[in-house]
Amino acid sequence: MYICSVSGLETAWIGVKKGVSNDMCPSGGPFCWYQCISLPLGRYAGMMVISSDIALLAELEPEAERLLNHHIAVTKEWHPHTLVPWSRGEDFEPDYEWSPEEANIPEDVRSALYLNLLTEDNLPYYFRDIERMFGRDGAWGEWVRRWTAEEGRHATVIRDYMTITRAVDPVELERGRMAQVMGGKVPEPPSAVDGLVYVALQELATRISHRNTGAQLEDRAGYDILRRVAADENHHFLFYRDMAQAAIEYGPSEAAQAIERQVTTFAMPGEGIPDFYEHSKRVARSGIYDLANHHEQILEPIVMKYWNLPGLTGLNAEGEQARERTIAYINKSKRVADRIVARREEAAANAEKG
């Protein structure tokens, strides 16, 4: 007896990836895009994890449980309503039209707040994909739900702050949210290893963006809110960073290939936001998040040092080739980052003179 990794139903049918069967697969049709796998009935029934990941996830589950317990032990409960400056709020009149002068926030920082919030708003899709990659049972499932619950606070507290302070046009913000969530455009890593690598990089990038945005707000309440959110993101990053490290130790060749895919195609999960690239240019211009941040605070310390991509051993030919291509990409990234830093330093020096 077999369990279909898509439908979770019992079947004697064994699918072949991208294969065709004369019989009807219980996942819905004769064309099965995932392998059905021989498993005892029980904990994997109903899971949507692809078959090639199940052995990895089972092997790494003790580490996931250890890191989950550590996360629970070191994180602190907090409440969004205690951070929002409610006394600064007032009613919106029926004929209200927003003006940038109300918030007195630089355009670049407004763009960062806009992107940060709408990125957080896509949590339903992140939950869908995290559960798809890691499953809903055991330590993995508990982590998925804990992570989702903690992430849910971020949009709540940032939106309340932005509405109370009128930091951005509330009509534009709501229309952006509708477009972002209705579009459902998010990265979809193809495997659990890809997912661990991508989310580790993305969580750290998000932490950096929130923290730097807060630092450029001339408002203590906004700074405290984004610092609190960034602290959550850092805890999440640490979980995924260390789980990715465990996956690297389990299968270095597969992990090296996943690292190449995720590093060389990395994009933040906000590309579905209206005018995403225009806002991103402003965010980069301000130094809140740009290629220099990405290289200096993510690629070098995490990929090259913590995961020690240059020093990985036990690689097969495909893994070795992936490592070489990734290192070449990161070296090119360094040259771009150096030019960005040089231009920024030159502009700062000229500003001091003038």
Band (348; pLDDT cuts 50, 70, 90): confident
CB atoms within 10 A of CB 213: 27
Report the C-alpha gap between 257 and 312 in whole angstroms: 12
* C-alpha 334 chain-centroid distance: 23
Band (15; pLDDT cuts 50, 70, 90): very low
Spatial contact of 268 and 312, defined as CB atoms under 8 Å apart: no
Q: What average pLDDT does range 274-285 have in this prediction? A: 94
Residue among 64, 60, 2 nearest 36 (CA): 2
**What's the predicted TM-score (pTM) here?**
0.85
The reported pLDDT for the residue numbered 131 is: 94
Q: What average pLDDT does range 268-289 have in this prediction? A: 93
Band (270; pLDDT cuts 50, 70, 90): confident
Report the C-alpha gap between 8 and 21 in whole angstroms: 18
Helix (H) or strand (E) holding 11: strand 10-11
Tokens of 262: 């995720």
The reported pLDDT for the residue numbered 48 is: 56
Q: Judge whether residue 3 has pLDDT over 80.
A: no
The reported pLDDT for the residue numbered 50 is: 66
For the ranges 39-48, 187-196, 241-250, 339-348, the lowest mean pLDDT is seen at: 39-48
Tokens of 7: 């439908």
pLDDT tens per residue, range 109-128: 999 999 999 999 999 999 99
Angle at 241 between CA 224 and CA 69, to 5 degrees: 75
CB atoms within 10 A of CB 18: 10
Report the C-alpha gap between 278 and 110 in whole angstroms: 12
With H, G, I as helix, E, B as strand and everything else as coil, classify residue 167: coil
Average confidence score pLDDT of the chain: 87
Tell me the CATH number for domain 53-353. Answer: 1.10.620.20
Report the C-alpha gap between 102 and 76 in whole angstroms: 34
Q: Residue ranges per domain, the chain?
A: 2-37, 53-353
* Bridge partners (DSSP) listed for residue 3: 10, 37
Report the C-alpha gap between 207 and 200 in whole angstroms: 11
Spatial contact of 112 and 288, defined as CB atoms under 8 Å apart: yes
DSSP 78: -
Band (175; pLDDT cuts 50, 70, 90): very high
Which residue type is seen at 52? S
Q: What average pLDDT does range 60-83 have in this prediction? A: 97
CB atoms within 10 A of CB 351: 8
Residue among 325, 334, 346 nearest 265 (CA): 325
pLDDT tens per residue, range 231-256: 999 999 999 999 999 999 999 999 99
